[in-house]
């Protein structure tokens, strides 16, 4: 049995993370730490959890106890830098759900996040926790960088193809869509119902912070071709939908591609290969990633969908903890713990 500390448990992602931890049979204690919510109770922040989980007081994130075995950090970028080095230095398992440790190069981090990295030595001594792609033996470091939501959907869809056909790829592009909860819980007028209802728009074109994260991982699997990544907002609260088009220098059969993906994900608890492009509603409220592959001669179109708050954040974080401790990776994630609205 283990003890868990959640730093930043009052946001959308934190809500799911709290519930997953409280449902987990191997977690005997969960403490929640916050800043503006310090001193408030769990039920006051999340009234929907009343009569489901015992109430507790949110502790001060300025006074983190070192008694826990695992620390989940669900904070905006830049803030995890204040906690991670000290916790890792105390030999604690740390799973950072933010972007502070995903990139390997401090200069790339500074360029895209506009912050100087204060612990660059940890960037190369972390595990990039794309949970459905790597086996338990991959988890050799106490610090796990939880992938972003867009990278999770995009990479799970692309990597089997890239790993097997990278030398044949001429170019690739991803057009991806997100629900408004991806921007966090703080109020922003451009994300309000009156602005987004019945509306779709591109944002951060050629400037989304998840692009270098995707490119970094693709390159590790041999991808060196031109790549573009464009993001859009959907008038829904949750979900990620990514469509990637890959151009090859040879014609390829649907069966050969299907065999590659079947072999890679045959033992996966949460990747589902679909015969048709997935619907977003098939995955919202779950930790699944649904993927479809369509082939037309030398053009491969990959569609993938996830829930950005679960598979793209807290659910994958729980998977990473399970793999780190050699628990079944679905523990705590298939027990009815997902039915929590973000509102």
Spatial CB neighbours of 267, under 8 Å, sequence gap ≥ 6: none
Which class does domain 150-306 fall in?
alpha beta
Q: What distance in Å separates the CA atoms of residue 192 and residue 256, rounded to the nearest whole number?
A: 45
Q: Which residues are catalytic?
A: 149
Number of neighbouring beta carbons within 10 Å of residue 225: 18
CATH topology of domain 2-147+310-324: Rossmann fold (3.40.50)
> Could you give phi then psi for residue 198, rounded to 5 degrees?
70, 20
pLDDT in tens, the chain (343 residues): 999 999 998 788 888 999 999 999 999 999 999 998 899 999 999 888 888 888 999 999 999 999 999 999 999 999 999 999 999 999 999 999 999 999 999 999 999 999 999 999 999 999 999 999 998 889 999 999 999 999 999 999 999 999 999 999 999 999 999 998 765 555 566 665 557 677 888 989 999 999 999 999 999 999 999 999 999 999 888 999 999 999 999 999 999 999 999 999 998 999 999 999 999 999 999 999 999 999 999 999 999 999 999 999 999 999 999 999 999 999 999 854 444 443 3
| Residue-range domain boundaries for the chain | 2-147+310-324, 150-306
Asked if 275 and 292 count as a contact pair (C-beta separation under 8 A), the reply is yes
Asked if 210 and 153 count as a contact pair (C-beta separation under 8 A), the reply is no
């Amino acid at each position: 049995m283990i003890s868990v500390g959640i730093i930043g448990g009052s946001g959308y992602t934190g809500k799911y993370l709290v519930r997953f931890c409280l449902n987990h049979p191997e977690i005997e204690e969960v403490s929640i730490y916050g800043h503006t919510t310090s001193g408030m109770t769990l039920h006051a922040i999340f009234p929907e959890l009343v009569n489901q989980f015992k109430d507790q007081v949110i502790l001060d994130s300025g006074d983190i106890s070192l008694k826990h075995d695992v620390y989940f950090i669900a904070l905006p970028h830049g803030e995890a830098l204040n906690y991670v080095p000290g916790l890792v230095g105390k030999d604690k398992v740390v799973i950072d759900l933010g972007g502070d440790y995903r990139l390997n190069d401090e200069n790339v981090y500074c360029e895209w996040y506009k912050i100087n990295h204060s612990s660059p030595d940890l960037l190369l001594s972390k595990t990039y926790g794309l949970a459905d792609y790597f086996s338990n033996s991959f988890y050799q470091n106490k610090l796990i960088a939880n992938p972003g939501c867009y990278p999770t959907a995009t990479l799970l869809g692309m990597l089997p193809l890239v790993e097997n056909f990278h030398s044949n790829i001429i170019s690739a592009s991803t057009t991806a869509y997100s629900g408004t909860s991806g921007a966090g819980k703080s109020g922003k007028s451009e994300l309000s119902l009156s602005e987004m209802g019945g509306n779709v728009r591109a944002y951060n074109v050629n400037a989304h912070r998840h692009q270098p994260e995707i490119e970094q991982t693709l390159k590790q699997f041999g991808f060196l071709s031109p790549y573009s990544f464009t993001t859009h907002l959907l008038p829904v609260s949750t979900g990620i939908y990514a469509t990637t088009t890959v151009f090859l220098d040879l014609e390829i059969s649907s069966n050969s591609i299907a065999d590659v993906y079947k072999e890679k994900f045959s033992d996966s608890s949460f990747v589902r290969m679909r015969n048709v492009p997935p619907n977003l509603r098939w995955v919202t409220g779950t930790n699944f990633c649904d993927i479809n592959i369509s082939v037309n001669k030398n053009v491969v179109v990959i569609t993938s969908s996830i829930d950005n708050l679960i598979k793209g954040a807290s659910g994958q974080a729980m998977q990473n903890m399970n793999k780190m401790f050699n628990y079944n990776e679905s523990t705590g994630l298939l027990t009815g713990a997902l039915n929590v609205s973000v509102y």
